[in-house]
Structure 1
Amino acid sequence: MFVIEAGKGRRSWISGIFEDDDRVYFNLYYITQDFEPKIPGSDYMGANKHLHIDNSFLNSYATYGKDLLVRNHMA
């Protein structure tokens, strides 16, 4: 299962491409088994396999397509 987490205060999907190379549009998590944080209500999502979807990723995806996800062990 894939989970998309948008940044705080942002829409849940990309509303445009920005020139800012440091902007993370969203995180893409690849969940392969049940996940429960050690402390309920805390944020341990970084412990799961994930990618930060930013301009660098989008440029690489334009070049490699879904093979990029395979190379990052996300598919």
Structure 2
Amino acid sequence: MFRPELLRILGITDSTMYAWLEAGILVRPISLGPNRSNGNARRNAWIREEVYQWIRDQAAKSRAPAKPARGASQPA
């Protein structure tokens, strides 16, 4: 899938996408075609199944029980 579809599916903006990529949060795209003279790919795309797996992983993380803070006492 290309960037417009990715942004629509995730409901995010370009700036959020680039921030997540920089932080290693979002799955990386693959480069399509030869690189330009500046080294950047002519076109990037995301593998659809990787994106949907990333979404499932994020859902699982958000539904996981919260871990107690380190050093916090456990209820009796």
Higher helix proportion, which one? Answer: 2
Larger Rg computed on CA atoms: 2
Would you call these one fold, judging by a TM-score over 0.5? no
More strand by share: 1
Higher relative contact order (CA 8 A, sep 6+): 1
Question: Which TM bucket (shorter chain)?
Answer: under 0.3
